[in-house]
Each structure stands twice: as C-alpha cells, then as structure tokens.
Amino acid sequence: MNQASESAADFASCQEREARRAYARRPKKIADVLAQVIAQKGYGRVESSAALEEAWRSAAGEQLAQASRPGKVSRGKLEVTVTNSTTIQELAFAKRRILAQLEQLLPDARIRDLRFRVGPIQ
C-alpha cells in the first residue's frame, strides 16, 4: 500500500467518525428521549405490574387474591407468592380457570402457567 492510499483511508475514517459525532449532537425528538428514559428507569414495568396485580385480583377472586401476590412473568410462567400451603392447594384447584381469565385480561402477557411459592406478602 502506498502512502496516498493510506492517507485516503485515514481521511475516510475521520469523516465517518465525524459524521457519527455530528449525528449524536443533533437534537432528538422528545418522544424518543422520554421512551429511552422510561425504559432505563423501569417505569413501564411499574405500570404493567399494576395491570398484572389488577388482573390477578380479578382472576383469582378477592379471597385468594388477599392471600397471594403475583410476581414476575418469566418464559410464560407467572410466579405467585402465597401466604401458606393451603392457599397453594386452593389456587392449584382453580389454576385452569385463573389461566383462562388471565389470558382474556392480559393477552399480551402470554401467561401459560402458574408457579406458586410460600413467602411473605407485602
């Protein structure tokens, strides 16, 4: 490679780098900035968590909902924390009905199964 072609390659890489920096300095749309902040801070998850809580209360029924709390959805499984093993048994009996109602109330969540565990409920 001669010196002229190396200079041309260096010049091209400098131009490309400067173009990227100029793009980064350009004004951004407020909607894009807000979407990025919401995603970084996790505010979208708080909203979906409230919707999940409300759907769980409706699907499980008031009595079972008082003794349980929905957790996170992972790979189609909703983790539910319950106060005791008796509540787990009652939820297991109502599992199909609850899953059907959750599918109607939260179709985008794609909940296919429920997983119960005993633990403290805040």
Q: Where are the domains of the chain?
A: 3-40, 42-118
Residue 88 to residue 112: CA distance in whole angstroms? 17
Query: pLDDT tens for residues 57-93?
Result: 999 999 999 999 999 888 889 999 999 999 999 999 9
CATH number for the segment(s) 42-118? 3.30.300
* 43 vs 5: which has the higher pLDDT: 5
DSSP labels, 37-72: HHHHHTHHHHHHHHHHHHHHHHHH-HHHHHTEEEEE
Q: What is the mean pLDDT of residues 35-41?
A: 70
Whole-model pTM: value is: 0.61
Q: What is the mean pLDDT of residues 39-66?
A: 79
List, in order, residues 6 or more apart from 68 with CB less than 8 Å away: 56, 60, 80, 81, 82, 83, 87, 91, 116, 121
The Cβ-side half-sphere exposure at 21, using a 13 Å CA radius, reads: 6
